Amino acid sequence: MSYKFTQHYKEDFEITIVKYNFMKFETFFRTRKDIVSCELCKTDFKKEDDTCLAFVVKKKNLLICNKCADKAVEGGAEKRTEW
Ligand SMILES: [Zn+2]
């Protein structure tokens, strides 16, 4: 017998800037194998997906999908398409 406990923790991210069209996931994955899904909604990226980069206050930047990027911008984050 064993008891399985699943931790459901909540973490807040304060996103200030969203950089759209950061790079194709295929390109990103060539150098970074540790991220395979959107870091917010955990949807798996497909090779051909565009990724966005979210700048988070006091935390590392997040690689996120277009849907989460739109949500962040609607919520008040600054949208950037150029560096
Ligand atoms: Zn997402």
Cα(52) to centroid(ligand 1), Å: 9
Instruction: Name the band, by pLDDT with cuts 50, 70 and 90, for residue 60.
Output: very high
- Across 34-47, average pLDDT: 96
Query: At 67, which helix (H) or strand (E)?
Result: helix 66-74
User: Which of 2-11, 25-34, 71-80 has the least mean pLDDT?
Assistant: 2-11
CA distance 52 to 65: 6
Cα(67) to centroid(ligand 1), Å: 6
Report the pLDDT value the prediction gives residue 83, as an integer from 0 to 100.
66
Report the pLDDT value the prediction gives residue 65, as an integer from 0 to 100.
97
Cα(4) to centroid(ligand 1), Å: 28
